[in-house]
Amino acid sequence: MEITIGQIFDVRKKVLFPKRTGDALYMLCKEREEGIKHDFDICLKAFNSQLINFKKNEEKLSKWQKEKCKICAGNLGRYLEYLAIELDKKIIEEHCRLIAGASGPIMPFMPDIVLLLINSYQGAIETDLHWIGDLVLNDYIDISIGDFDYSKLEKYFPGRIEKIESLCRELAYIGYVSLRADSIKEAITCHNTKQQKASNLLLITIIEGLVRSLGLYLAGKQSLIQDTTDKRKYASLDGFLHKIPWKKDLSITDIKLGLLTGNYSAYDYPKENNVKTNLAERLSFLTRRFKDTRNAILHGEDTGYANVLNSFMNFSALYEVLLTIKEYDQLYPSQKR
């Protein structure tokens, strides 16, 4: 069903269940109507914010940011359309009849909070941290609305480093991981002794080395004809990930894939369905804000990278890369395992 732009902006004028009292079904319907309208208002603000900020900052936005703005606006636009369609008396009554007999707490309307957060301008363009899956909801929200004190990220470091160390031990039988074990230990030591610049420089080089080694391993397992060691053709990590036709053979949930790629667009009650992905999508976060920050540091443009945000992003990226190596090794077991 297609809906016009006029119908979308007439949503707030609709009053489907005007009374404040009624039987249980009527009150469920009224609650759903109000929930849809409230979510519509929030989504419309996020949609307008994307358009306004895109126009305001277009000249200084990078290529990926411009593309991301369009993707987010599209996701929010489709969600607005979905909400406008759902704001129909018959549709609401049918939905509420179905849930009225459910056991346990009844929620007439479930807003898609993740969609709204991950497609916000502040969350998707300015920070781009939604690929980090263990952020608590309050931090997630504050980052997405541009009201977050990054010093709060300090609390995540002990757990993040512990997971990295655990993965390093678990993957020690993989040659290219064990080869970088000492460098990873040194990066952690530098972080713990407040030598943030040294730690971050080590981390971004370790991450790239691990990704390229994983790619070389995968090229053989996937029988790719491309020479992944061609430094001229694949000089950048972006090119290495996106110019090589990696096979979609890695199983992942659609929600996690949406968070990693920054293109989460499920509606209402998202389901964790398994889908197939490839190396470029699994590590797509490395080619967005992470890439911009990395390039600015390595090219000497950014000298103030001794901060909590960069350290958090780098350790989180290292964790995801090691986790990806583990996932692919389960798919294509190493002979030395």
> Per-residue pLDDT for the chain (337 aa), expressed as one digit of tens each?
566 777 777 777 889 999 878 888 999 999 999 999 999 999 999 999 999 999 999 999 999 999 999 999 999 998 998 999 899 999 999 999 988 877 767 889 988 888 888 899 998 998 899 899 889 989 988 988 888 899 999 999 999 999 999 999 999 999 999 999 999 999 999 999 999 999 999 999 999 999 999 999 999 999 988 777 777 788 788 889 999 999 999 999 888 888 888 877 655 444 568 889 999 999 999 999 888 888 888 888 888 888 999 999 999 999 999 999 999 999 999 866 5
Residue type, 79: Y
Query: Is residue 116 situated within a structural domain?
Result: no
User: Residue 224, class by beta-carbon neighbours within 10 Å (0-12 exposed, 13-18 middle, 19+ buried)?
Assistant: middle
What is the enclosing helix (H) or strand (E) of 170? helix 157-170
CA dist 39 and 156 (Å) reads 31
Q: Is residue 135 part of a domain?
A: no
Centre a 10 Å sphere on the Cβ of residue 237 and count the other Cβ atoms it contains: 21
> In the 8-state DSSP scheme, what is residue 127?
I
- Return d(Cα 253, Cα 271) in angstroms, integer: 9
Q: pTM of this prediction?
A: 0.86
Host domain of residue 72: 5-110
Q: Quote the pLDDT of residue 267.
A: 53
Residues 177 and 309 in one domain: yes
- Which is nearest to 327 in space by CA: 261, 284, 279? 279
Same domain, 170 and 102: no
Is 238 contained in some domain?
A: yes
Domain check: are 168 and 106 in the same one?
no
Check: CB of residue 244 under 8 Å from CB of residue 219: yes
Query: Which residues are CB-contacts of 11 (< 8 A; sequence separation ≥ 6)?
Result: 37, 40, 83, 84, 87
* Residue at which a domain ends, from 56, 78, 110: 110
Q: Give the residue from 60, 86, 110 where a domain finishes.
A: 110
Residue identified by tokens 């300090």 is 154
In a domain, 276, yes or no: yes
Structure tokens, 109: 């309307």
* Last residue within a domain, chosen from 89, 110, 131: 110
Handedness of CA 3, 7, 9, 11 (dihedral sign): negative
Q: Tell me, yes or no, whether 92 and 191 share the same domain.
A: no
What angle is formed at CA 328 by the lines to CA 324 and CA 331, rounded to 5 degrees? 150
Q: Do 267 and 317 reside in the same domain of the chain?
A: yes
Do 76 and 171 share a structural domain?
no
Do 186 and 315 lie in one domain? The reply is yes
The neighbouring-strand residues paired with 155 are none
pLDDT of residue 159: 96
